[in-house]
Amino acid sequence: MKNATTRIAVFVSGGGTNLQALIDAADKGIIKSGRIELVISNNPDAYAIKRAESAGIPVAVVSKKACGSQEAFEEKLKETLREYDIELIVLAGFMNILSANFTKDYPERIINVHPSLIPSFCGKGFYGLRVHEAALEYGVKVTGATVHFVNEIPDGGRIILQKSVAIRKHDTPEILQQRVMRQAEWIILPKAVELVSKEINSLKKGN
């Protein structure tokens, strides 16, 4: 039988505040059914790498540019995941859309945090600050964050958790982004990781 604790890889590209929320949640025992065994960054300069190193988590940099194509990039990702025996992938601010060729190998084993209430302001072209710019431009009064499974449709997989956040009168995209992270993303991402890890563990016990 496999180990009872789900082996997790976190994919990052930038600041890594969601990665930090996961590390902190593991320290506090909010995440107890899974363990972050690896952080993969597609950007060698991501601050998230420093966060992982400070927490003593192994880091792999897999750059699409260095690999030469999306296909070669995804093959390298898969190889790295196999090396660490990873069972659950968490996209935490990962700015690359994974193709069906990748996602089909991990059905309901990849989760993503998106900074809006899906199905609003999501899909191709909606990432990072752009999501908040679009929400403010549209004039919605409520936004939030969503954690969902990843399939071949960008931001289209089954929703795991959502949390709403109020928009305030003088919000800028930057201010709104911070509020959505603080009030929603950093709370629901760790919760979802625990939920899914627990589910994976119980499936293993059933084997």
Which residues in this chain contact ligand GAR in the complex, by CB under 6 A? 14-18, 48, 92-93, 113-115, 127-128, 131, 181, 185
Of 114, 132, 148, 170, catalytic: 114
Nearest distance from C-beta of residue 108 to ligand GAR, angstroms: 19
Q: What angle do CA 43, 33, 181 make, to 5 degrees?
A: 45
132 catalytic, yes or no? no
User: Which residue, 90 or 196, is less far from ligand GAR as judged by CB?
Assistant: 90
Exposure string for 62-77, b = 16+ CB within 10 A, e = fewer: bebeebeeeeebbebb
Q: In what order do the strands lie in the sheet with 142-149?
A: 59-61, 34-41, 6-12, 88-91, 110-114, 142-149, 159-166
User: Which residue, 34 or 93, is less far from ligand GAR as judged by CB?
Assistant: 93
User: Which residue, 14 or 157, is less far from ligand GAR as judged by CB?
Assistant: 14
Nearest distance from C-beta of residue 88 to ligand GAR, angstroms: 17
Give catalytic residues, as residue numbers. 114
